[in-house]
Amino acid sequence: MILDDGVNPPQRPEDVDPKPYRRAFEAIVARDDIELIGMWAGDELIGQLQLTVTPNLTLGGATRGLIEGVRVRGDLRGRGLGTQLMTYAIARAKSKGCRLVELTTRRPQAARLYERLGFCQTHQGFKYHVQSDAFEA
C-alpha cells in the first residue's frame, strides 16, 4: 500500500461529465497549499482525501489543515485503512506547520474513527450553497 501526494484525479462514474472534475483537479495540483493524498493498492486508488493548508487570524495566527473528501473504497472499510490515511494526512499537516487539523462529516461511522484519532466535536457546522441563493436581487 502506498500513500502519496497524488497526481491522478479521482475516478468518477462514466455518466458524469468529467470536465468540471478535471478543471478542479488541475486547479488543485497547481497550488502549493492543497494536496490530494491517495492510498494505492498496486495501481488501484483505494482511498483519498484533500488537505488544504490555510493561515488564520485565530490561534495566534496559526496555520490550519482542512481535510475534505475522505474516501476509502466501500468494500475495504473497517480494515484500518481510514486510520492509516488520516494518520498520514495529519503528519503531512504537521510537517507544513499546522497547529490544528479540522474536518466535517455526516457519517457516524467516520465520526467514531475521527474521535479515536483524537479529533473532538467543537462546532455546529453550516453550509450555504451559492447556486441556490435565495437572496438574489
Q: Which residue has the cell 468494500?
A: 75
User: How confident is the prediction along the chain (137 residues), in pLDDT tens digits per residue?
Assistant: 445 444 454 555 667 788 988 999 999 999 999 999 999 999 999 999 999 999 999 889 999 999 999 999 989 998 999 999 999 999 999 999 999 999 998 888 888 899 999 999 998 888 888 876 665 55
Q: Is residue 128 part of a domain?
A: no
How many distinct structural domains can be found in the chain?
1
Tell me whether residue 47 is in a domain.
yes
Does residue 124 lie within any of the structural domains?
no
Evaluate whether residue 136 is within a structural domain.
no
With respect to residue 126, please indicate whether it lies within any of the assigned structural domains. no
Domain enclosing residue 38, as ranges: 2-119
Is this prediction's pTM over 0.75?
Answer: yes
Is residue 21, in this structure, part of any structural domain at all? yes
What CATH number is attached to the domain comprising 47? 3.40.630.30
Q: How many CB atoms lie within 10 A of CB 39?
A: 24
Q: Which amino acid is at 59?
A: L
pLDDT of residue 127: 83
Cα distance between the two ends of the chain: 52
Cα separation, 64 vs 102, in Å, equals: 8
CA dihedral 70, 46, 4, 36 (to 10 degrees): -40
